[in-house]
Amino acid sequence: MKKGLVRAALSAAFVGAFVGMSAFPGSALAAGISNDVVKIGVLTDMSGVYSAIGGEGSVTAAKMAVADFGGTVLGKPIDVISADHQNKPDIASTKARQWADTDHVDMITGLLNSGAAIAVQKIGTEKKMITMATGAGSTALTNKDCGPYGIHYVYDTYSLPKVAGSAIVQHGGKTWFFLTADYAFGHSLEKNTAAFVKSQGGKVLGQVRHPLATADFSSYLLQAQASGAKVIGLANAGGDFVNAVKQAREFGIVQGGQTIAGMLVFLSDVKSLGLDVAQGMEFATSFYWDRDPASRAWSKRYFAKTGAMPTMDQAGVYSATMTYLKAIKAAGTDDPDAVMKTLRGMKIDDFFSINGHLRADGTMVHDMFLVEVKKPSESKGPWDLLKVIKQVPGDQAFMPMSEGTCPLVKAGGGAGTGGY
* Of 235 and 370, CB closest to other proteins: 235
* Of 190 and 240, CB closest to other proteins: 240
Do residues 351 and 297 lie in contact, with contact meaning Cβ atoms separated by under 8 Å?
Answer: yes
Do residues 30 and 335 lie in contact, with contact meaning Cβ atoms separated by under 8 Å?
Answer: yes
Shortest separation between residue 416's beta carbon and other proteins, angstroms: 38
Asked if 187 touches other proteins (CB under 8 A), the answer is: no
Shortest separation between residue 222's beta carbon and other proteins, angstroms: 5
Binding-site member from 72, 200, 223, 379 for other proteins (CB under 8 A): 223
292 Cβ neighbours under 8 A, 6+ residues apart: none
Residue 410 CB-density burial (10 A; 0-12 exposed, 13-18 middle, 19+ buried)? middle
Asked if 48 touches other proteins (CB under 8 A), the answer is: yes
Largest CA distance in the chain: 67
* Of 208 and 330, CB closest to other proteins: 208
282 SS3 class: strand
Binding-site member from 101, 216, 292, 378 for other proteins (CB under 8 A): 216
CA distance 134 to 125: 18
Asked if 238 touches other proteins (CB under 8 A), the answer is: yes
CA distance 108 to 96: 8
* Of 228 and 280, CB closest to other proteins: 228
Asked if 239 touches other proteins (CB under 8 A), the answer is: yes
DSSP sequence for 53-121: TSHHHHHHHHHHHHHHHTSEETTEEEEEEEEE-TT-HHHHHHHHHHHHHTS---EEEE--SHHHHHHHH
Do residues 217 and 179 lie in contact, with contact meaning Cβ atoms separated by under 8 Å?
Answer: yes
276 Cβ neighbours under 8 A, 6+ residues apart: 376
* Of 13 and 222, CB closest to other proteins: 222
Do residues 18 and 147 lie in contact, with contact meaning Cβ atoms separated by under 8 Å?
Answer: no
Chain centroid to Cα 178, Å, comes to 22
Asked if 213 touches other proteins (CB under 8 A), the answer is: yes
Phi first, then psi, for residue 64 (nearest 5°) are: -60, -40
152 SS3 class: strand
Shortest separation between residue 206's beta carbon and other proteins, angstroms: 8
* Of 181 and 411, CB closest to other proteins: 181
Do residues 280 and 373 lie in contact, with contact meaning Cβ atoms separated by under 8 Å?
Answer: yes
* Of 93 and 218, CB closest to other proteins: 218
* Of 224 and 322, CB closest to other proteins: 224
Torsion angle, alpha carbons of 249, 253, 259, 264, to 10: -50
Asked if 209 touches other proteins (CB under 8 A), the answer is: yes
Shortest separation between residue 56's beta carbon and other proteins, angstroms: 12
* Of 90 and 292, CB closest to other proteins: 90
Binding-site member from 75, 211, 307, 381 for other proteins (CB under 8 A): 211
Binding-site member from 18, 183, 251, 383 for other proteins (CB under 8 A): 251
Asked if 246 touches other proteins (CB under 8 A), the answer is: yes
Chain centroid to Cα 236, Å, comes to 14
Binding-site member from 81, 208, 388, 401 for other proteins (CB under 8 A): 208
Among the residue ranges 161-169, 214-222, 280-288, 302-310, the one whose residues contact other proteins (CB under 8 A): 214-222
Asked if 51 touches other proteins (CB under 8 A), the answer is: yes
Asked if 47 touches other proteins (CB under 8 A), the answer is: yes
Among the residue ranges 24-32, 48-56, 102-110, 165-173, the one whose residues contact other proteins (CB under 8 A): 48-56
Strands 368-373 and 231-235: unpaired
Number of chain residues interacting with other proteins (CB under 8 A): 31
Binding-site member from 215, 257, 347, 382 for other proteins (CB under 8 A): 215
Do residues 420 and 413 lie in contact, with contact meaning Cβ atoms separated by under 8 Å?
Answer: yes
Torsion angle, alpha carbons of 390, 396, 170, 351, to 10: 20
Asked if 219 touches other proteins (CB under 8 A), the answer is: yes
Binding-site member from 109, 113, 134, 243 for other proteins (CB under 8 A): 243
Asked if 49 touches other proteins (CB under 8 A), the answer is: yes
* Of 51 and 319, CB closest to other proteins: 51
Binding footprint of other proteins on the chain (CB under 8 A):
47-52, 206, 208-209, 211, 213, 215-216, 218-220, 222-223, 226, 238-240, 242-243, 246, 250-252, 255-256, 272
